[in-house]
Homo-oligomer: A and B are copies of this chain.
Amino acid sequence: MSTIDDEPIKTPLTLDDGVDFAVIEHLFFAYRDFTADPDAILAEYGFGRAHHRVLHFVNRLPGLTVAELLDVLRITKQSLARVLKQLIDDGYIVQVPGPRDRRQRELYPTQKGRDLAMELALPQSRRIRAALEEAEPGDVAAVERFLRAMVNPELRPQMDKLPNGRSK
């Protein structure tokens, strides 16, 4: 019988073990630095990453309801409540009663909220553009295809609803 084996293993896991450790780690490091940019700005406003996400999607989908926002963020009503309340109290987001269903609250950014959303997006956009500078034609499409394919299939339609350009 084997006793409990707490012998140290001295050989590393490598790509030979059949796992894409390189991509796994690239994603980890990339995402960490990607979020560090806005985090620093948010701290000046007394906000956190949760505020960023709410502000971002309200700016990208103005007029979405609380339920729709919860569906995009995949968090609970109670988790959203605190950050949304702060953003409203501080004048970054306004609520408008739904036109058909007056129980609903349509969420819109104010000019202040739009400005902050842009300020937060800028360093991220700069980082992305710098990363793509060295890229060859077709790489951008390849990266977007890959990232999209990494998302659970049932959530991909949701991504397609986000405005892609030339909004009127």
| Complex Cα spacing A132 to B148, Å | 11
Task: Report A69-85 CB contacts with B as 1/0, cut-off 8 Å.
Answer: 00000100000000000
Majority secondary structure of chain A interface residues (helix, strand, loop or mixed): helix
Q: Does A98 contact B (CB under 8 A)?
A: no
B110 lies within 8 A of A23 (CB): no
Q: Does A143 contact B (CB under 8 A)?
A: yes
B8 lies within 8 A of A96 (CB): yes
Number of contact residues on A: which range applies?
35 or more
Task: Report A126-149 CB contacts with B as 1/0, cut-off 8 Å.
Answer: 011111101110111011111111
Oligomer copy total: 2
A62 lies within 8 A of B11 (CB): yes
Task: Report A10-37 CB contacts with B as 1/0, cut-off 8 Å.
Answer: 1111111111111111111111111000
Q: Which residues of B contact A20 (CB under 8 A)?
A: 124-125, 128-129
Q: Does A40 contact B (CB under 8 A)?
A: no
Task: Report A90-132 CB contacts with B as 1/0, cut-off 8 Å.
Answer: 0100101000000000101111111001100110110111111
A131 lies within 8 A of B149 (CB): yes
Q: Does A48 contact B (CB under 8 A)?
A: no
In the A-B complex, the 10 residue pairs with the closest CB atoms: A8-B108, A131-B149, A26-B147, A30-B150, A139-B142, A19-B125, A30-B147, A15-B165, A14-B167, A142-B142
